[in-house]
Amino acid sequence: MTPSARCAAAIAILDRVLAGEAAEKALTNWGRASRFAGSGDRAAVRDLVFEALRRRNSAAARGGGLTGRGLVLGLMREAGQEALFSGEGHAPALPGPEEVGREPLAEDALDLPGWLLPELRDSLGDDFVPVAQALRSRAPVFLRVNLGKTDVPGAVAALAAEGIVARPHPLAATALEVVENARKLQGSQTYLSGLVELQDASSQAVAEALPLTDGMRVLDHCAGGGGKTLAMAARARLRLFAHDASPRRMADLPERAKRAGTRVTLTDDPEGAAPYDLVLVDAPCSGSGSWRRDPEGKWRITAQDLESVMETQRSILDRAAAMVRPGGWLAYATCSLLDRENRVQVEAFRARHPGWELDREVRLTPLQGGDGFYLALMRRG
């Protein structure tokens, strides 16, 4: 496919996304119907679609409208490649007089949902504009080195032998940032043999901050795919339990644990094995700290959605607290940048449950390189 044809494909996919179809589904359906597209074409079209979603407001302004065509035209204008809209062959048609576009206004240039701007500004303070700019760009690819099988230099060397270039990242002792050939990663022996796992550096930093020692009974209450479960397993010899409200999210965890050389007990009745020395609650949230990876999320979340997810956070915290032994730890984490989901939520929990001491808080934003994350470590009296 030519670059112009890739633009045309991205336009068609984005129109489906803007009509309500999930981006991953729209991309999959396009790929199945476009057997002529090679792996490089599919990757390039995917990148265009997600770049358009990250920069939706500013691209729509430059492209003259909130349509698939407007978004891709806006991206090409920003990149100085409007000539790809030539109308020749499979290229999109030449821009018409109604598609002159304009430079984005100040708020458009931030590419954030307008209704959340005041709250994000209050939560981030002086970092608000730099963080907004960071969220407009693609997230780096990070790996966690499995110290149970190798060390950081060993993982770097193993990856390099397969043509993948990675370098240590300061956010966590186990973090590597992939700087070349990230697309080779999931087919590499280094990955398939469990020497490394895909995991954001901020997520690793959260797991690294947990007070883990050999012999502890630990529950990952909102385990999802189990990234933090495995990160904890690599730090100490633990008796690990994993629970998720949607068990299917944990479907790959046993195989991943086996590959990593560890063992995790999946449970749909976490109370049955209580009490625990530590319960980690990586709670459902707005996802605002990870909007680089899920740009659809920032445009689809509503005020009602946020209120609903905060009620879920409250409920999970109350449930998890009852499973911690006296003197044990409750770790509350979100990938949110909003104080309302983080500090304010923790203060409200402690008001409902006297006797919990706040030991420390960790706040991370994309300015440190990884996703935005929050962690509160609380100890039961």
pLDDT of 326 strictly over 90: yes
User: Hey, where are the domains in the chain?
Assistant: 3-111, 141-199, 207-380
What integer pLDDT is reported at residue 330 of this predicted model? 98
User: Residue 233: what pLDDT?
Assistant: 92
- The tens digit of pLDDT for each residue in 166-182 reads 999 999 999 999 999 99
281-295 residue pLDDT tens: 999 999 999 999 999
Mean pLDDT of 243-262: 90
For the residues 260-286, what does the mean pLDDT come to?
95
Largest CA distance in the chain: 72
CA 372 to chain centre: 9
How does residue 201 score in pLDDT terms, banded at 50, 70 and 90? Answer: very high
Q: Are strands 239-242 and 217-220 parallel, antiparallel or unpaired?
A: parallel
- Please give the pLDDT value at position 35: 86
Phi then psi dihedrals of residue 164, to 5 deg = -110, 125
Distance CA 210, CA 279 (A): 10
Pairwise CA distance, residues 184 & 161, whole Å: 12
Lookup: tokens for 21: 């179809």
**Is 335 noted as a catalytic residue in this protein?**
yes
Once rounded to an integer, what is the mean pLDDT over residues 41-52? 96
Q: Write down the CATH superfamily of domain 141-199.
A: Sun protein; domain 3 (3.30.70.1170)
Please classify residue 103 by burial: count the beta carbons closer than 10 Å to its beta carbon, then call 0-12 exposed, 13-18 middle and 19+ buried.
exposed
CA distances from 242 to 121, 220, 271, 322 (A): 35, 5, 12, 16
Residue 261 has pLDDT above 90, yes or no: no
How high does pLDDT run on average in the chain? 95
Nearest to 144 by CA among 212, 70, 197, 211: 197
- Which distant-in-sequence residues (6+ apart) come within 8 Å of 280 by Cβ? 210, 218, 219, 220, 221, 222, 228, 232, 331, 333
Catalytic residue among 7, 222, 285, 335: 335
| Confidence (pLDDT) at 101 | 94
Residue 260 has a pLDDT of 83
Note the Cα 212 to chain centre separation in Å. Answer: 24
What pLDDT score was predicted for residue 277?
98
Q: How far apart are CA 82 and CA 94, in angstroms?
A: 9
**pLDDT computed for residue 358 by the predictor:** 97
CA count, 13 A, side-chain hemisphere, 139: 23
197 CB-near residues (< 8 Å, 6+ apart): 143, 144, 146, 191, 227, 230, 231, 256, 260
172 touches 232 (CB < 8 A): no
- The CATH class of the 207-380 domain is alpha beta
Query: Residue 216's pLDDT band (boundaries 50, 70, 90)?
Result: very high
CA distance 120 to 128: 7
pLDDT over 90, % of the chain: 94
Is the confidence at residue 148, as pLDDT, over 90?
A: no
259, pLDDT greater than 90: no
DSSP lists the bridge partners of residue 278 as 218, 329
Q: How far apart are CA 243 and CA 77, in angstroms?
A: 47
